Amino acid sequence: MNNANKRKLFDSIVWSASLLFAFGLLISEASAESTGFSATNKTWSTECGSCHLAYPPDMLPAPAWRRMLSGLDQHFGTDASVDARAAAEIGAFLERNAGQGRKRGSDSGTLRITETRWFVRKHDEVPTTAWKNPRVKTPANCGACHSAAERGDFDEDAVRIPR
């Protein structure tokens, strides 16, 4: 192989490596986003989890999440607005993982998880005094009784109602 050919070969190797690297980055970014949709999503957990538990997406149906996202500037009395990019990412994540089926998928019009029929039914044996306990404070405080709520674990056997 003469020198000119060697240089050509070297060139093509370096070019291919650079292009592969660049494409690799593109692909890894795209897949990072799509694997995020399946279980957790960083933007969702950061944004939705800064003032309260990042409530699992399957606790409300997709139309409710859509309404929620379109009114974040007046989110239960506070301004929880996020930038357009974050809103789009969170919206897609919620949509994909929203509640499905007869119970979790039906839209009763409420944006409060605690007002959905499935929530009310699941908690119908919780005494009124427990809700009023200052250590519970609000039914939205899942972690007060569901100690593993942060990890998305709401197993009934792990429930400890504070006294």
| Contact residues: other proteins, CB under 8 A | 11, 14-15, 18-19, 21-22, 25-26, 29, 32, 50-53, 73, 76-83, 137-138, 140-141
> Whole-number minimum distance, CB 137 to other proteins, in Å?
5
* Closer of 63 and 131 to other proteins (Cβ): 131
* Closer of 7 and 122 to other proteins (Cβ): 7
* Closer of 63 and 92 to other proteins (Cβ): 92
**Cα–Cα dist 23/31, whole Å:** 12
Task: Report DSSP letters for 76-116, one per residue.
Answer: TTB-----HHHHHHHHHHHHHH-B-HHHHT---S---GGGS
**Angular region, 137: left φ>0, alpha ψ -120 to 50, beta rest:** left
> Whole-number minimum distance, CB 114 to other proteins, in Å?
12
Query: Which residue type is seen at 71?
Result: G
